[in-house]
C-alpha cells in the first residue's frame, strides 16, 4: 500500500502563504455567499433544487434541446458547428478564423477553452489569441494555469503579478492593485481595437430562442465583441437550458453562488450576429457545440455532474481545496467538481485521475452550496467504486485494504475475537505494529485506550439482572 495520496503531498508541500491566501479568499467568498442567500430568500434550497431539476430535465432531453438550439441559432443568422472533442473544436475555430483572414483574437473566459488548450493551439498556428479577463490575462502572460474556476489567480499575490507585468513590458515594477489594473486596461484597450475576432464561451445557452447568456464582472466579453467583425462562442453541450425565462433563476443563482453578488455586473444576451440596421457588432456569429466526452458522462452513473454551471461555490466551501489549492488536482477543474469531472473527462486515461475522488472527507458541504444541487459526495463514492475496480493502484494509495476486515465484520465470532485482541494496542509493542494505517493515524494523533467488548459485557450483565 502506498501511504500517501498525491493531493495530500501537495497540501503538505504547498508554500504556507499561498495556502493561507487560498484559504482566506475561499472562506470570505463562501461566507458572503451564505449571507446573501440567507438574506434574500426564505428557502434558498428550493431554488437550488428547482435549478437542478431544470438542468437534469435538459440533460435527459439533450437531443431535443440541442436540435432546437441549432435551429434557432440558424434562424437568427448564426452558424452552428458541432465538435466531438477538443481537437476538433480547436480545428473548427482555427478554420473559421483562417477562412475569414482573422489574425488577432481577443478572448473572454472559458473553462472549455482551458480543457481544449485553445490558446496554445491558436498561437502555434499563427493566430494571436489573447485573454481579456484580468485573471486569465495574468495567467496567460505568466505562462501559468488557472487554479480556480472563478478566481483563476487565487494562488498568486500582487508581487508576482507586478513582476510578471514588468517582465512582459507592461511597465516598471509596481504592485499597487490600482496600477496593475490600469496597466492591464491600457494594454487590453489597444488589443480590443486591433482584434479581428472575439472568442467567448457562454454561461447559458437558451434553446427556445437561440440565445447566449454571458456573465462577467469586467465587461470584457462585451469588449471582445465591440470592435471585432466575427464572434465565435465555444460551448459545452451541457450549457443548454430550455427557456429564456429560466435565465432569471440561473442568473440569480450563479452570481450569488460564485461571488456572493446579487447579479454579475455585465450580463449579455446574444441572439445572433449584427442585424441589418444595427450600427455595431460582429457580422458573423459562430456557435461551436463541444462534446469532449460529455455524452460519455451522460451515459455514466455520474451524469448529474453535467448540471454544473461552473460557479466555483464547491471549491470555495471545500475544506480539502482550502488546504491543497487547485493545482493539487492536476487538471482543468479542481475541487469537488473537478474530483468528479476530471476522471470522467479523462476517458481512457481515467486511471491517472482515479485518486481525485478520494480527496474528500465526504463532508457534503459541496452539495449544500451547489446551485444545481449536484449530489457530489454520491458521485465521488461511485467513482471510488469505479476506481477500486479499474485503477486500484492509483485510487488505493493510503487506503487500508478491506478484505480481511470484511470477513471479520461478517462473522460475529471473528469480530468478538478481534475485540479481545485489540487490547494489544494499549501497550507500546502493539502501538508499534507495522500497519501503515495505524502509523499514519498515530503520527498526529494519540490512540484512545482500547476497550473492546466492554459495552457488550455491560449489556449482558444488565439484561441478566433485569
Partner 1 sequence: MALHPQTRKKPAGKRLFFMATCICDAFFDDAARAAVEVLEYLGCEVVFPEGQTCCGQPAFNSGDWKASRKVMRHTMEVFKGEEPVVAPSGSCAAMLTHGAPLEFEEEEDLGKVQDLAGRSWELSDYIVNGLGITEWKGRFPHKIAFHRSCHSRGSGSAEAATQLFSSIEGLEITEFGEMDQCCGFGGTFSVGFPNISAAMGRLKIEHVTATKPDYLVSGDMGCLLHLGGMIDKEDSQSLPRLHLAQVLRDSLKNGGLL
Instruction: Determine the Cα–Cα distance for residues 292 and 118; give it in Å rounded to an integer.
Output: 13
Minimal distance in Å, beta carbon 345 to partner 1?
Answer: 20
Question: Is residue 32 involved in binding partner 1 (CB under 8 A)?
Answer: no
Q: Which of 364, 427, 432, 461 binds partner 1 (CB under 8 A)?
A: 364
Minimal distance in Å, beta carbon 418 to partner 1?
Answer: 9
Minimal distance in Å, beta carbon 217 to partner 1?
Answer: 27
Burial code (b: 16+ CB inside 10 Å, e: under 16) for 329-357 equals bbbbbbbbbbbbbbbbbbeeebbebbbbb
Question: Is residue 266 involved in binding partner 1 (CB under 8 A)?
Answer: no
Q: Which of 35, 248, 265, 459 binds partner 1 (CB under 8 A)?
A: 459
User: Whose Cβ is closer to partner 1: residue 142's or residue 378's?
Assistant: 378
Q: Which of 320, 337, 345, 356 binds partner 1 (CB under 8 A)?
A: 320
CA-atom Rg of the chain in angstroms: 26
Contacts by residues 274-283 (CB-CB < 8 Å, ≥ 24 positions apart):
275/77, 280/226, 281/225, 281/226, 282/197, 282/198, 282/225, 282/228, 282/229, 282/230, 282/231, 283/229, 283/230
Question: Is residue 375 involved in binding partner 1 (CB under 8 A)?
Answer: yes
Question: Is residue 43 involved in binding partner 1 (CB under 8 A)?
Answer: no
Question: Is residue 385 involved in binding partner 1 (CB under 8 A)?
Answer: yes
Give me the DSSP letters along 304-356: GGGG-----HHHHH-HHHHHH-GGGG-SSS-HHHHHHHHHHHTGGGGGGGTTG
Stretch that binds partner 1, among 56-64, 87-95, 147-155, 361-369 (CB under 8 A): 361-369
Minimal distance in Å, beta carbon 438 to partner 1?
Answer: 9
Q: Which of 28, 193, 437, 461 binds partner 1 (CB under 8 A)?
A: 437
Q: Which of 319, 330, 430, 431 binds partner 1 (CB under 8 A)?
A: 319
> What is the 8-class DSSP label of residue 131?
E
Question: Is residue 108 involved in binding partner 1 (CB under 8 A)?
Answer: no
Could you tell me which of 154, 112, 139, 116 has the C-alpha nearest to residue 326? 154
Give me the DSSP letters along 64-110: HHHHHHHHHHHHTT-EEEEESSHHHHHHHHHHHHHHTT--EEEE---
Query: Which residues contact residue 66 at a Cβ distance below 8 angstroms, ignoring those fewer than 6 apart?
Result: 207, 237, 240, 289
Q: Which of 363, 417, 430, 431 binds partner 1 (CB under 8 A)?
A: 363
User: Whose Cβ is closer to partner 1: residue 69's or residue 314's?
Assistant: 314
Q: Biggest alpha carbon distance in the chain?
A: 95
Count, residues near partner 1 per rule CB under 8 A: 72
User: Whose Cβ is closer to partner 1: residue 226's or residue 438's?
Assistant: 438
Assess contact for 290 and 235: CB atoms under 8 A.
Answer: yes
User: Whose Cβ is closer to partner 1: residue 177's or residue 436's?
Assistant: 436
Question: Is residue 451 involved in binding partner 1 (CB under 8 A)?
Answer: yes
User: Whose Cβ is closer to partner 1: residue 77's or residue 430's?
Assistant: 430
Question: Is residue 185 involved in binding partner 1 (CB under 8 A)?
Answer: no
Q: Which of 181, 269, 458, 461 binds partner 1 (CB under 8 A)?
A: 458
Strand partners, 106: 130, 198
CA distances to 41, 56, 241, 371, 378 from 53, rounded to whole Å, are 19, 5, 11, 11, 17
Minimal distance in Å, beta carbon 29 to partner 1?
Answer: 14
Assess contact for 133 and 363: CB atoms under 8 A.
Answer: no
Q: Provide the CA 221 distance to its chain's centre, in angstroms.
A: 20
Minimal distance in Å, beta carbon 363 to partner 1?
Answer: 3
Mask for 275-314, x = binds partner 1 (CB under 8 A): --------------------------x-------------
Question: Is residue 110 involved in binding partner 1 (CB under 8 A)?
Answer: no
Question: Is residue 140 involved in binding partner 1 (CB under 8 A)?
Answer: no
Q: Which of 84, 98, 361, 461 binds partner 1 (CB under 8 A)?
A: 361
Q: Which of 163, 422, 430, 431 binds partner 1 (CB under 8 A)?
A: 422
- Our CA dihedral for 396, 399, 400, 404, rounded to 10 degrees, sits at -50
At 198, is the secondary structure helix, strand, or coil? strand
Minimal distance in Å, beta carbon 427 to partner 1?
Answer: 16
Question: Is residue 8 involved in binding partner 1 (CB under 8 A)?
Answer: yes
Amino acid at each position: 500500500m502506498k501511504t500517501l495520496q498525491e493531493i495530500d503531498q501537495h497540501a503538505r508541500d504547498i508554500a504556507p502563504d499561498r495556502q493561507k491566501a487560498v484559504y482566506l479568499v475561499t472562506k470570505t467568498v463562501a461566507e458572503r455567499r451564505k449571507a446573501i442567500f440567507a438574506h434574500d430568500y426564505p428557502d434558498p434550497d428550493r431554488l437550488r433544487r428547482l435549478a437542478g431539476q431544470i438542468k437534469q430535465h435538459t440533460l435527459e432531453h439533450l437531443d431535443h434541446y440541442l436540435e432546437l438550439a441549432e435551429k434557432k441559432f440558424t434562424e437568427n443568422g448564426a452558424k452552428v458547428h458541432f465538435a466531438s472533442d477538443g481537437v476538433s473544436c480547436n480545428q473548427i475555430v482555427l478554420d473559421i478564423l483562417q477562412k475569414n483572414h482573422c489574425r488577432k483574437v481577443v478572448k473572454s473566459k472559458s473553462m472549455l477553452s482551458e480543457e481544449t488548450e485553445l490558446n496554445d493551439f491558436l498561437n502555434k498556428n499563427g493566430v494571436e489569441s489573447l485573454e481579456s479577463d484580468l485573471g486569465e490575462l495574468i495567467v496567460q502572460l505568466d505562462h501559468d494555469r488557472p487554479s480556480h474556476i472563478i478566481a483563476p489567480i487565487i494562488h498568486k499575490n500582487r508581487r508576482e503579478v507586478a513582476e510578471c507585468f514588468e517582465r512582459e513590458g507592461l511597465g516598471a515594477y509596481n504592485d499597487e492593485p490600482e496600477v496593475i489594473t490600469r496597466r492591464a486596461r491600457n494594454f487590453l484597450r489597444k488589443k480590443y481595437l486591433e482584434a479581428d475576432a472575439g472568442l467567448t464561451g457562454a454561461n447559458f445557452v437558451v434553446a427556445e430562442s437561440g440565445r447566449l447568456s454571458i456573465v462577467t464582472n469586467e465587461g470584457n466579453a462585451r469588449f471582445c465583441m465591440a470592435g471585432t467583425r466575427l464572434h465565435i462562442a465555444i460551448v459545452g453541450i451541457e450549457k443548454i437550458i430550455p427557456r429564456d425565462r429560466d435565465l432569471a433563476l440561473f442568473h440569480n443563482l450563479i452570481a450569488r453562488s460564485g461571488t456572493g453578488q446579487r447579479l454579475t455586473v455585465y450580463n449579455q444576451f446574444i441572439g445572433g450576429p449584427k442585424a441589418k440596421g444595427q450600427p455595431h457588432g460582429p457580422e458573423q456569429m459562430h456557435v461551436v457545440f463541444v462534446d469532449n466526452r460529455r455524452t460519455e458522462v451522460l451515459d455514466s452513473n455520474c451524469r448529474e455532474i453535467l448540471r454544473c454551471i461552473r460557479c466555483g461555490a464547491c471549491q470555495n466551501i471545500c475544506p480539502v481545496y482550502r488546504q491543497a489549492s487547485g493545482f493539487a488536482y492536476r487538471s482543468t477543474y479542481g475541487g469537488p467538481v473537478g474530483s468528479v469531472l476530471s476522471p470522467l473527462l479523462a476517458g481512457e486515461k481515467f486511471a491517472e485521475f482515479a485518486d481525485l475522488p478520494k480527496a474528500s472527507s465526504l463532508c457534503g458541504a459541496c452539495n449544500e452550496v451547489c446551485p444545481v444541487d449536484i449530489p457530489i459526495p454520491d458521485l465521488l463514492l461511485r467513482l471510488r467504486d469505479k476506481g477500486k475496480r479499474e485503477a486500484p493502484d492509483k485510487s488505493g494509495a493510503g487506503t487500508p485494504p478491506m478484505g480481511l476486515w470484511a470477513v471479520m465484520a461478517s462473522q460475529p465470532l471473528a469480530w468478538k475475537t478481534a475485540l479481545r485482541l485489540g487490547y494489544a494496542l494499549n501497550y507500546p509493542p502493539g502501538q508499534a505494529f507495522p500497519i501503515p494505517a495505524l502509523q499514519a493515524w498515530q503520527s498526529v494523533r494519540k490512540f484512545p485506550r482500547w476497550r473492546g467488548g466492554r459495552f457488550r459485557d455491560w449489556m449482558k450483565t444488565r439484561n441478566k439482572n433485569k
